Amino acid sequence: MLSLAVSIAFALVAAAVVLSLWRLLKGPDKPDRILALDTLYINTIALLVLLGIHLGSSLYFEAALLIAMMGFVGTVALCKYILRGDIIE
Amino acid sequence: MITNLGCGLNMIDFMLAILILIGAAFTFVGSLGLARLEDFYSRLHGPTKATTLGVGALLIASVLYFSTRGEGLSLHEILVTLFLFITAPVSAHLLSKAALHLRVHSVARPPAEAEDPIADQRGSSAAHPPEQAS
């Protein structure tokens, strides 16, 4: 039951990654693309957590934590670039 | 993965499966909203649900899994949950500020008498002037 649920969850999160990539390529404005990148790293964290459950290994949480921190920093840097025209003034 | 050691582990397996399916479904719905909704401010609404409910349920399932199978309580995931729950509103706020700055297309017309609080910062670099927004 658990392996079936993890397989269905992998399929759903992979479909979410594809939809975010579509918005990243299509998005008419710059904030749309930044939001798609933000959603992509959230989906990557979900994929890593699912991979940790699937393989029974807790090694992947450090990677998930790093992706969470670096993704937030990237989103803030891109938004500050749009807002101010510069990142570090 | 399915253990036959007794009713307790099967119950935990059932709860794990439910939590994983809820988390994956909310992650998918968040990206579906990102792909399907019609303007940026509506699209901003979807992925925040994926962040809080989707990844939150998946991390709760992971805490449950590694606490019942590994040795002792597993609390690494609380760090990821805490960090995501703190940073999601901040990044959404910054994204909406950037979109307001660029004046992206919105399906809701702003009130005509509303004055622009950051007009002096915006200058003449507006991507979508308000008379073109329909």
Distance from CA of A25 to the nearest CA of B (A): 11
Q: Does pTM top 0.90 for this prediction?
A: no
Residues in chain B: 134
Q: Report the residue of B76, B91, B120 to disrupt the A interface, i.e. the one with the largest count of A CBs within 10 Å.
A: B91
The count of CB pairs under 8 A between chains A and B is 174
pLDDT in tens, B58-92: 999 998 888 887 667 777 788 888 898 999 999 99
Strands (E), chain A: none
Q: Judge whether B117 lies within some domain.
A: no
Q: Where are the domains of chain A?
A: 2-84
| CATH number assigned to the domain comprising residue B90 | 1.10.287
What are the structure tokens assigned to B12, written together? 């935990």
Cα A86 from Cα B114, distance rounded (Å): 28
> CATH number for the A2-84 domain, one of 2.30.29, 1.10.540, 1.10.287, 1.10.12?
1.10.287
Q: What SS3 class is residue A89?
A: coil
ipTM of the shown complex: 0.90
Full domain range(s) for residue B60: 7-106
Contact B34 A13 (CB under 8 A): no
pLDDT in tens, A34-57: 999 999 999 999 999 999 989 988
Q: Report the residue of B94, B107, B128 to disrupt the A interface, i.e. the one with the largest count of A CBs within 10 Å.
A: B94
pLDDT in tens, B33-53: 999 888 888 899 888 888 889
Give the closest of B14, B32, B70 to A1, CB-based. Answer: B14
Distance from CA of B107 to the nearest CA of A (A): 14
* Averages of pLDDT over each 10 residues, chain A, 89 residues: 90 94 89 92 92 87 90 93 84
Cα B57 from Cα B35, distance rounded (Å): 22
Domains contained in chain B, number = 1
Contact B66 A58 (CB under 8 A): yes
Cα B37 from Cα A87, distance rounded (Å): 30
